[in-house]
Each structure stands twice: as structure tokens, then as C-alpha cells.
């Protein structure tokens, strides 16, 4: 049964996706590949400060900031997961409009087995992306 | 322990150590999924205790992220805007 809450979720997703992309456009990507989020007044990564290694989330904002400028290779190097998340965010806009238009509840999607698989895949990719970044740093050192 | 709970526990550790909201939100989602299955009686083989642990650890990760952010802003003031 499609109700107002379902409509609000779809509108919320649409607004969130548009806001994220607008912020990414407004930010200037950091040349070093991470730290772009500090332009938003957010603190620098503690993991990076302590270990001198990027955390799995380092480079995500930078990746979005590059991807929105169509610099996909730089976005990939900043964070491969970030590039995938960027395309996910972009695809969320027509998806949310479709959900609103066809009056489909977002719960129907989150309750499907495919969604759980997608969450697993995204999590795995998130950590693989981190390994890639660590390898990239190691490669640059030698 | 269900697969969702195992993943949620892993994500909660990542959330507490470094990743905050990025893994915390997915962790909460996965742990809640198992808790709902147990509550509905569809998965009696799952361990509710571990699912709850995973759920609350992720919540703690998210709360710590917000607290850290507030402390940082309290010290420096929100910059950028």
C-alpha cells in the first residue's frame, strides 16, 4: 500500500541525491586525492593523522568532486568506490522520479533479496577500494 | 549468527575505528534486517543477542561520529560556509 511516508522517502532520496551532487560541484577537489571534505568544515581524518595511511572513506568526497567535473580517471584514482557511489547517486535521481511516478514503495526494494546482495557488494567494493588505495600509495613510494 | 549480523559486526568495528557513518548506516540496516526476521519468527536459528550487539555497536559508531564532529566544531567553529 503506497502512502505519504513512501512518497516522503522518494522525495527525500531525490533531494539528498541532488544536494550531494550540488555540494560535489561546489567543492574544489584536493590535489592530493583526499581531504576535500575539510572545505565543508568537517575535521580531517583521524585515522590518517594517526597512521599516515588513508582510511577506507578517504578520497570519497574528492572522487565525487572530480566525477561531477567528468574527470572520471582522477575520480577513480581518488577512490574507485567513490566513482561507483557517484554513478549510484546520479542514478538515484531518475530512480526516485520513477518511484514517485509509478507509486512504488522504496520498502519493496529494500526488502528484496537483491537489495541485500547489493549492500554486500557495495561493502566489499568499499574495502577493495581501500586496498587499491593502499597499494597505490605503496606503488608511489617505490 | 546470521550472515547479516556477521557483516553488521564487521561494519560496526570499521565504523568505530574510522569510517563512522559510511559503514555505520549499512551496519544498522543489516543488523535490523536480522532483528526483524527474528522478531517475526521467520529465522529462529539466528542469535538475537548478536544481532542486537551489532545493531547497537553501529549506533554507537554513529553517535561517536556526531559527538566527534560537535567537539571539533566546538573547538574550531564550523568553517567553510
Q: Which chain A residues contact residue B69 at CB under 8 A?
A: 42-43
Is the whole model's pTM more than 0.90, yes or no? no
Looking at residue A63, what is its pLDDT? 96
For the beta carbon of residue B58, count every other beta carbon within 10 angstroms.
29
The H-or-E segment that residue A7 falls in is helix A4-26
Count of A–B CB contacts within 8 Å? 48
Domain layout of chain A by residue ranges = 4-141
Interface touch B18/A126, C-beta < 8 Å: no
Q: What does the pLDDT look like over A104-135, one tens digit per residue?
A: 888 888 888 888 889 889 989 999 999 999 99
Nearest Cα residue to B53 out of B10, B21, B23: B10
Cα distances (Å, whole numbers) of residue A19 to A7, A34, A82, B74, B75: 18, 20, 16, 25, 27
Whether A6 contacts A105, CB under 8 Å: yes
**B81, part of any domain:** no
Whole-angstrom distance, CA of residue B76 vs CA of residue B74 = 6
Tens digits of per-residue pLDDT, A32-78? 888 999 999 888 888 888 888 999 999 999 999 999 999 999 999 99
C-alpha cell at B28: 544498522
Give residue B78's pLDDT: 61
Residue B65 lies in a domain: yes
Task: State the smallest CA–CA distance between residue B23 and chain A in angstroms.
Answer: 8
Closest residue, chain A, to B77 (C-alpha): A41
Q: How far is A141 from chain B (nearest CA, A)?
A: 24
pLDDT of B15-67, one tens digit each? 888 777 888 888 999 899 889 888 888 877 778 888 999 999 999 999 998 89
**Cα–Cα distance between B47 and A94 in angstroms, integer?**
39
Give the per-residue pLDDT at B20.
Answer: 77
Could you give the number of structural domains in chain B?
1
Write down the pLDDT at residue B3.
82
Count CB neighbours of B50 within 10 A. Answer: 17
Count of H helices and E strands in chain B?
A: 3, 0
The three-class DSSP label of residue A1 is coil
Distance spanning both ends of chain B, measured CA to CA? 45
The residue segments making up the domain with residue B26 are: 3-76
Amino acid at each position: 500500500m503506497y502512502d505519504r511516508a513512501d512518497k516522503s522517502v522518494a522525495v527525500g532520496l531525490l533531494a539528498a541525491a541532488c544536494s550531494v551532487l550540488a555540494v560535489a560541484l561546489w567543492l574544489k577537489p584536493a590535489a592530493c586525492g583526499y581531504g576535500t571534505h575539510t572545505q565543508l568544515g568537517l575535521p580531517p581524518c583521524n585515522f590518517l593523522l594517526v597512521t599516515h595511511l588513508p582510511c577506507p572513506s578517504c578520497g570519497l568526497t574528492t572522487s565525487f568532486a572530480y566525477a561531477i567535473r567528468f574527470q572520471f580517471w582522477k575520480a577513480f584514482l581518488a577512490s574507485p568506490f567513490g566513482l561507483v557511489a557517484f554513478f549510484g547517486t546520479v542514478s538515484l535521481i531518475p530512480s526516485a522520479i520513477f518511484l514517485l511516478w509509478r507509486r512504488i514503495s522504496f520498502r519493496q526494494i529494500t526488502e528484496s533479496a537483491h537489495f541485500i546482495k547489493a549492500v554486500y557488494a557495495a561493502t566489499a567494493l568499499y574495502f577493495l577500494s581501500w586496498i587499491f588505495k593502499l597499494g597505490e600509495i605503496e606503488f608511489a613510494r617505490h | 549468527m546470521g550472515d547479516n549480523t556477521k557483516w553488521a559486526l564487521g561494519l560496526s568495528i570499521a565504523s568505530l575505528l574510522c569510517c563512522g557513518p559510511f559503514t555505520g548506516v549499512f551496519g544498522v540496516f543489516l543488523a535490523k534486517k536480522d532483528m526483524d526476521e527474528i522478531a517475526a519468527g521467520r529465522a529462529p536459528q539466528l542469535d538475537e543477542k548478536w544481532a542486537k550487539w551489532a545493531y547497537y555497536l553501529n549506533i554507537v559508531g554513529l553517535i561517536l561520529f556526531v559527538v566527534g564532529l560537535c567537539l571539533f566544531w566546538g573547538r574550531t567553529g564550523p568553517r567553510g560556509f
